[in-house]
């Protein structure tokens, strides 16, 4: 099994998010607490982004509920290794449900960037791709270059099977881009932009 830290080179997170969201089409996006929210907002504060400002460990499950409710749309969860580790059981639940329109991209820097860059479990022992595969998500890939990331983004649009990507990113902190923290506003504009309200 490949140790998480061995995947080099690592991508710049802002470049990586631009590749993922470049041609988003009808894509619905859920981001995790912290840096992936800033990443998504750095591309565009799209009304079809739902940013989590808390609820750590919950991003993938918000994506599951959304993907089940909207089988007509591709759903992409972009979150970090810390959020993923806190809700690891969600990968098992998603493996069982296997919605074909759900994709999860974990921006893995092996660090808790928000709290001072302390190492996470993926920095040493834990291989998230192996975890995802063991949870029944067969289409789980390790990504360390933009060409592979662009392939993944195209596969997300196809809505053919549940996807998981661990995206190796640099442990840095680009300037923060802060979208609204008003949860009611974020919820309501998302529902209106996607025509369920």
Partner 1 sequence: MNDDDWRDGIFAALKAADTRQVGYVPDAGHARLIQHCQADPGIRAVSLTTEEEGIALAAGAWLGGQRAALLMQSSGVGNCINMLSLVKSCRFPLTMLVTMRGEWAEFNPWQVAMGSKTQAALELMDVLVYRVEDAASAAETVAAALDIAFNGSLATAVLLSQRLIGAKKWVK
**How far apart (Å, rounded) are the C-alpha atoms in residues 151 and 157?**
10
Q: Does 134 bind partner 1 (CB under 8 A)?
A: no
| Closest CB to partner 1 among residues 132, 186 | 186
Of 21-40, binders to partner 1 (CB under 8 A) are 28, 30
Is 119 a residue that touches partner 1 (CB under 8 A)? no
Q: Which residue number, 12 or 182, has a Cβ lying nearer to partner 1?
A: 182
Does 67 sit near partner 1 (CB under 8 A)?
yes
Residue choice 8, 96, 147, 175 for contact with partner 1 (CB under 8 A): 96
Rounded (5°) CA angle 117-87-44: 65
Phi first, then psi, for residue 158 (nearest 5°) are: -75, -25
Is residue 183 at the binding interface for partner 1, with CB under 8 A as the rule? Answer: yes
Report in angstroms how near the CB of residue 30 gets to partner 1 at its nearest: 7
Taking residues 150 to 169 in sequence order and writing x for each that binds partner 1 by CB under 8 A, - otherwise, the string is --------------------
Minimum Å gap between C-beta 101 and partner 1 is: 11
List residues binding partner 1 (CB under 8 A): 28, 30, 50, 52-70, 87, 89-90, 92-93, 96-97, 183-184, 186-187, 190-191, 194, 196-197
């Amino acid at each position: 099994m490949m140790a998480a830290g061995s995947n080099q080179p690592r991508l710049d997170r802002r470049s990586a998010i631009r590749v993922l969201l470049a041609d988003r089409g009808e894509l619905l996006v859920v981001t995790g607490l912290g840096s992936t929210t800033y990443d998504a907002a750095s591309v565009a504060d799209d009304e079809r982004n739902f940013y989590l400002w808390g609820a750590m460990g919950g991003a993938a499950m918000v994506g599951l509920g959304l993907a089940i409710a909207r089988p007509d749309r591709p759903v992409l969860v972009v979150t970090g290794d810390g959020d993923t580790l806190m809700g690891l059981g969600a990968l098992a639940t998603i493996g069982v449900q296997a919605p074909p329109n759900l994709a999860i991209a974990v921006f893995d820097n092996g660090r808790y960037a928000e709290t001072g860059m302390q190492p996470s479990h993926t920095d040493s022992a834990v291989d998230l791709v192996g975890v995802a595969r063991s949870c029944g998500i067969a289409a789980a890939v390790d990504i360390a270059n933009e060409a592979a990331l662009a392939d993944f983004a195209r596969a997300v649009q196809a809505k053919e099977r549940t996807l998981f990507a661990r995206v190796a990113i640099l442990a840095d902190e680009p300037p923060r881009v802060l979208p609204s923290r008003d949860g009611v506003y974020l919820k309501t504009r998302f529902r209106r932009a996607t025509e369920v309200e």
